[in-house]
């Protein structure tokens, strides 16, 4: 068992303890007379669901010691999926109670119900809105920025209302220490949000960066070169990423995650991010003036170069080349001669970002490149279409399970490649993937 796996297992246990310990604490000391099984079960899932919702703030608080064993994209994936479970539990809580307690179905009008129940309505309404807007943001045509602000606001209201509902009902909170425990918990949850949105930005404010160059690349892509302004900056590992706040202060809620594309071997703190125009926030990158003050929160991510003894197979789709570029540049700067194989899918020959530099890097690194074009020119003799398992068989030495695979690109491509590697009996521990559209 690797150290990362062990840390991952420990964190899952800690996560479950944070959900279940406050629930089982209610069984200690004195408590009111028991009711029927389904009523008690409904109460238990209500408390658990609320604790899970509160811990969502912890999952997105960008604590490196939490995210490192999994990778930031997987943490966000877990955050999204577990929210469905939490909302399911919270919604099931009143439904079961309504089913087993007929008197609850004869409630007076909304204005006459106890305030504890009104907060339950508010909490559930916010939770359902939260899930709907998160799952169908694109279909609802919500911009990432609008959605992000609404997401945080709805989450705070949902958890606060859920907490007030619990206090209003107060069936299990007769003992002062139990009441105190369940008051401290939401304060801690909201405190995590305060840490991310206020405390951390205060530190970032004192460590700004300046844009020193905006470089045009192939494929409607621009590279921002940023230098620390009045501080030494941070060191990152190739393949990692940072949250960029380009316009405004670090208190602005919408930072955007981008991989570093520069070599991690530089020592002056300079970092580069290569950003493709995808029609959203990225549309305005080429307009960024040299000298612009920006803020970087990082480095993050577990997508980084592995065991030097293994052959590294880098599989990039489109702008997914950026973390790979950082890896290849770093290996070149470090004089590392491990074999590297780059399978690089692009739309057409003109849009192959870093095409010329990669050819130059072949002279400094033991690098083999296979370009795959979706729309190749008429005289193209190379690979065409999409990256397939057949291409691995054509180019990679066997046994396939001996190589380290790094995959970054559009979700559909990554799903297909992970499936293909599974068919080649490559164990999961040999895959490293980063989905750049994880928010």
Residues that bind another protein (CB under 8 A): 12, 15-16, 19-20, 23-24, 26-27, 31, 34-38, 40-41, 43-45, 48, 52, 70-71, 73-74, 77-78, 81-82, 85, 89, 418, 421-422, 428, 431, 433, 435
Select 85 or 184, whichever has its Cβ closest to another protein: 85
Identify which of residues 38 and 115 has a Cβ nearer to another protein in the complex.
38
Q: At closest approach, how far in Å is the CB of 334 from another protein?
A: 27
Minimum distance, C-beta of residue 27 to another protein, in the bound complex (Å): 6
Shortest CA distance to 92 belongs to which of 134, 128, 136, 54?
A: 128
Minimal distance, residue 190 CB to another protein, in Å:
22
How is residue 276 annotated by DSSP? E
State whether residue 260 is helix, strand or coil.
coil
Please name which of 215, 221, 259, 216 lies closest in space to residue 346, comparing C-alpha atoms: 221
Closest distance of CB 111 from another protein, Å: 32
Which H or E element spans position 405? strand 404-408
Q: What minimum distance in Å lies between the beta carbon of 136 and another protein?
A: 20
Exposed, middle or buried: residue 266 (CB in 10 Å: 0-12, 13-18, 19+)?
Answer: middle
Beta strands at 383-384 and 367-373: parallel, antiparallel or unpaired: parallel
User: Smallest distance, Å, CB 189 to another protein?
Assistant: 17
Q: Among residues 54 and 208, whose Cβ is nearest to another protein?
A: 54
**Min CB(269)–another protein separation in Å:** 30
Residues 6 or more apart whose Cβ sits within 8 Å of residue 253: 145, 148, 149, 152, 197
Residue-wise over 17-48: b if at least 16 C-beta within 10 A, else e? ebbeebbebbeeeeeeeeeeeeeeebbbbbbb
Cβ closest to another protein, residue 20 vs residue 214: 20
CA 426 to chain centre: 25
Instruction: Give whichever of 43 and 315 is closer to another protein, judged by the CB atom.
Output: 43
Task: Check: CB of residue 352 under 8 Å from CB of residue 371.
Answer: yes
Q: Which residue, 35 or 394, is less far from another protein as judged by CB?
A: 35
Among residues 366, 386, 389, 368, the alpha carbon closest in space to that of 376 is found at: 386
Q: Which is nearer to another protein, 72 or 336 (CB)?
A: 72
Give the C-alpha separation, 332 to 364, whole Å: 6
């Amino acid at each position: 068992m690797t150290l990362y796996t062990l840390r991952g297992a420990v964190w899952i246990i800690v996560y479950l303890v944070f959900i279940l310990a406050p629930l089982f604490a209610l069984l200690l000391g004195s408590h009111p007379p028991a009711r029927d099984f389904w009523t008690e079960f409904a109460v238990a899932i209500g408390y658990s669901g609320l604790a899970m919702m509160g811990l969502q703030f912890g999952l997105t608080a960008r604590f490196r010691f939490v995210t490192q064993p999994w990778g930031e994209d997987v943490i966000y994936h877990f955050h999204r999926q577990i929210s469905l479970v939490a909302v399911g539990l919270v919604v099931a809580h009143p439904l079961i109670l309504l089913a087993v307690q007929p008197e609850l179905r004869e409630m007076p009008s909304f204005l006459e119900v106890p305030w504890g129940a009104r907060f339950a309505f508010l909490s559930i309404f916010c939770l359902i809105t939260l899930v709907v807007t998160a799952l169908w943001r694109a279909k609802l045509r919500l911009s990432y920025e609008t959605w992000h602000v609404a997401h945080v606001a709805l989450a705070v209201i949902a958890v606060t209302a859920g907490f007030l509902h619990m206090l209003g009902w107060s069936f299990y909170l007769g003992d002062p220490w139990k009441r105190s425990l369940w008051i401290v918990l939401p304060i801690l949850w909201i405190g995590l949000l305060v840490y991310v949105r206020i405390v951390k930005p205060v530190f970032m404010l004192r460590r700004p960066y300046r844009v020193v160059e905006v470089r045009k690349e192939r494929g409607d892509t621009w590279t921002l070169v940023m230098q620390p302004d009045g501080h030494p900056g941070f060191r990152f590992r190739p393949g990692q990423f940072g949250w960029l706040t380009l316009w405004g202060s670090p208190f602005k809620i919408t930072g955007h995650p981008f991989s570093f594309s520069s070599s991690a071997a530089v020592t002056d703190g300079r970092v580069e991010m290569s950003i493709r125009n995808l029609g959203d926030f990225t549309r305005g990158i080429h307009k960024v003036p040299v000298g612009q003050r920006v803020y970087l929160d990082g480095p993050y991510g577990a997508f980084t170069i592995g065991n030097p003894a293994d052959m590294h197979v880098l599989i990039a789709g489109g702008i997914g080349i950026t973390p790979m570029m950082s890896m290849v540049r770093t290996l070149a700067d470090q004089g590392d001669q491990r074999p590297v194989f780059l399978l690089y899918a692009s739309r057409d020959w003109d849009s192959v970002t870093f095409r010329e530099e990669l050819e130059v890097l072949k002279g400094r690194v033991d690098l083999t490149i296979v370009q795959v074009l979706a729309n190749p020119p008429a005289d193209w003799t190379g690979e065409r279409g999409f990256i397939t398992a057949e291409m691995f068989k054509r180019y990679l030495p066997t046994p396939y399970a001996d190589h380290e695979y790094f995959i970054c690109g559009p979700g559909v491509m990554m799903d297909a490649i992970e499936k293909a590697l599974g068919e080649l009996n490559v164990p999961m521990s040999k895959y490293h993937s980063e989905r750049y559209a994880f928010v």
